[in-house]
Structure 1
């Protein structure tokens, strides 16, 4: 039966309950709250969630590439939500050059809370005193900043890692505080490294260890559920596909041994890169990603023009993760049954 015939038969009052039951409504051209991509007025990438009380904060890099530029990322932004539907923009929290020893590239970051302060770990391009990508740490008294360089120099430089195969090996930090209060940082491109942080949060405490899982490319993310530790990352099986996907490994301890569990998602639409960020918020787990499906004006999605998305993350009874299908609906609809 056509919508016109239904309207004539039921009238507006009778039709309204049917429309409400069909799903969320939005005005023509207005995105449904919670649908993907989350932010549509600018290009964003490398999402990193942080839960503080009844709000979830999401830190992203700001893609500003024009034309055929690969990446042009100068600053980090933060948004927050209390319901995963409506987001508040808090503006830039830091620029790459706020690290005086850095010269460019506001790449992937993560913020964690420790002892009432907020610690911001991120990858930037070091100046010529230590060529290549490096990881810096900044700190603030609020999750919305302002963040300032906490160390005055890089926490990790390209010269510190064992492999050192290329200048962008030291990127994409993920930071995790274990139940015993120890805090760990993992990072890398092609090789995945992990190290313990000192209680001051600005120095490594011991050796750097390599924990590279199969097909690891970049973008590691550490989290724990129950007694299981998860290392989720952007993977690239170069013998099988040309774009990154998300894979994961699990372990009984933050120090391993890590067991490869396979792919979690496919690639992001139109995007070579993909980047996971995982959080539990108000009893529900979420995974944040990015793709390149957004167009703004005459600028289409591209390698340096990406858009952040979110999906539900669900677990099997044995602790493994259920495959995640990337959707336009995102969290505007209930979780899969």
Structure 2
């Protein structure tokens, strides 16, 4: 494991944020991008107890490559300023039926296990993108293929317009114990999962909101369901933004609320992930505003960022302004 965002001396870990001697540190600072030694994308936070785990894809594109992603990684934090690198948790080759592309993922805890859903490219037996499911006993793995085959293949969504529509899974367990999975590119789909977490339980429903491009994220606050996603108005926008919609049921109808935030700096893609941690909600994104050695950020070399997320009294989310400057986390309650 590697701890960064901190300085280790004589076995002690000292916060990189300056703190006066004897002073309390009630509001840790976060600087963006939060991971600076690797190119990372598609952030998916999961909170377990006093720890936030952050699952990411690892960009390794060289020169002018578009996307080159072979593995998924996980980081953890207890204070949002010091992050522990737990290394790769899976490689796309661990799914024997997949041939490439460790794309966007999300993990969820249920039934004493951690379930990991991820987008990959299926082999020639089921051409196109597909969604895999893996399982582990702990958030940091080791993970293994839980099904031995794809959970969702391109053939299961025949109304779609292209072979890469079955990507970017997001999972959420409702108050009644039902787990939902949503996914898509240009078309957005949702379905229930069976209690075993490796099979769909019923039909696939299309719930595509306005300007939906990809990267959906499901969460619930009170009685309101939120669908946050990468949006693209192809008539007016060059790069993806983030929009959201709300509903009183996971299958909708969904009410659009427009933009939550703009595009990530220098990046065509963007991917939202939302979590509440220590009394504060956060919006995780990615941009391409990071250089490592002689490699600058690019469409295939992205960097994860995070911002505070707040709600209005009516339940709508306040627009988020992306900034490289330090942001503040609320102290523990």
Q: TM-score when scaled to structure 1? A: 0.89
Aligned to 1:145: 141
Which residue of the other structure, out of 45, 48, 56, is the alignment partner of 2:44? 48
1:177 and 1:330 map into 2 onto residues whose CA distance is 32
Q: Does 1:274 align with 2:270?
A: yes
Q: Does 1:311 align with 2:307?
A: yes
Deviations, residues 239-298 of structure 1 (Å, cap 9, x unaligned): 111100000000011121100000000000000000000000111100100000001111
Aligned to 1:216: 212
Q: Where do 1:10-29 residues align within 5 Å?
A: 25=18
Aligned to 1:104: 100
Structure number with higher strand proportion: 2
Is the 1:248–1:261 contact (alpha carbons within 8 Å) kept by the matching residues of 2?
Answer: yes
Which residue of the other structure, out of 56, 72, 75, is the alignment partner of 2:71? 75
Q: CA deviation at 1:332?
A: 4.4
Aligned to 1:195: 191
Task: Tell me the secondary structure at the aligned position of residue 93 of structure 2.
Answer: helix
Which residue of the other structure, out of 129, 132, 135, is the alignment partner of 1:136? 132
Task: Tell me the secondary structure at the aligned position of residue 168 of structure 1.
Answer: coil
Aligned to 1:241: 237
Q: CA deviation at 1:34?
A: 1.4
Which residue of the other structure, out of 202, 209, 224, is the alignment partner of 1:228? 224
Task: Tell me the secondary structure at the aligned position of residue 203 of structure 2.
Answer: coil
Aligned to 1:284: 280
Deviations, residues 158-197 of structure 1 (Å, cap 9, x unaligned): 1110323111110000000000000000000000000000
Q: CA deviation at 1:25?
A: 3.9
1:122 and 1:170 map into 2 onto residues whose CA distance is 10
Which residue of the other structure, out of 111, 130, 135, is the alignment partner of 1:115? 111
Which residue of the other structure, out of 240, 258, 261, is the alignment partner of 1:262? 258
Is the 2:29–2:326 contact (alpha carbons within 8 Å) kept by the matching residues of 1?
Answer: no
Is the 1:229–1:250 contact (alpha carbons within 8 Å) kept by the matching residues of 2?
Answer: yes
1:331 and 1:280 map into 2 onto residues whose CA distance is 15
Which residue of the other structure, out of 162, 169, 190, is the alignment partner of 1:166? 162
Deviations, residues 60-118 of structure 1 (Å, cap 9, x unaligned): 00000000000000000000000111101100000011000001100000000001100
Q: Does 1:85 align with 2:81?
A: yes
Measured at CA, do residues 330 and 205 of structure 1 come closer, stay the same or move farther in structure 2, by a change above 3 Å?
A: farther
Q: CA deviation at 1:324?
A: 0.2
2:122 and 2:62 map into 1 onto residues whose CA distance is 23
CA RMSD of aligned residues (A): 1.4
Q: CA deviation at 1:330?
A: 4.4
1:302 and 1:294 map into 2 onto residues whose CA distance is 9
1:327 and 1:76 map into 2 onto residues whose CA distance is 26
Is the 1:187–1:219 contact (alpha carbons within 8 Å) kept by the matching residues of 2?
Answer: yes
Is the 1:85–1:332 contact (alpha carbons within 8 Å) kept by the matching residues of 2?
Answer: no
Is the 1:84–1:331 contact (alpha carbons within 8 Å) kept by the matching residues of 2?
Answer: no
Task: Tell me the secondary structure at the aligned position of residue 201 of structure 1.
Answer: coil
1:25 and 1:67 map into 2 onto residues whose CA distance is 37
For structure 1, the 5+ residue unaligned runs are 1-23, 27-31
Deviations, residues 109-133 of structure 1 (Å, cap 9, x unaligned): 0000001100000000101101111
Measured at CA, do residues 241 and 149 of structure 1 come closer, stay the same or move farther in structure 2, by a change above 3 Å?
A: same
1:114 and 1:227 map into 2 onto residues whose CA distance is 21
Deviations, residues 18-48 of structure 1 (Å, cap 9, x unaligned): xxxxxx549xxxxx95100001111000000
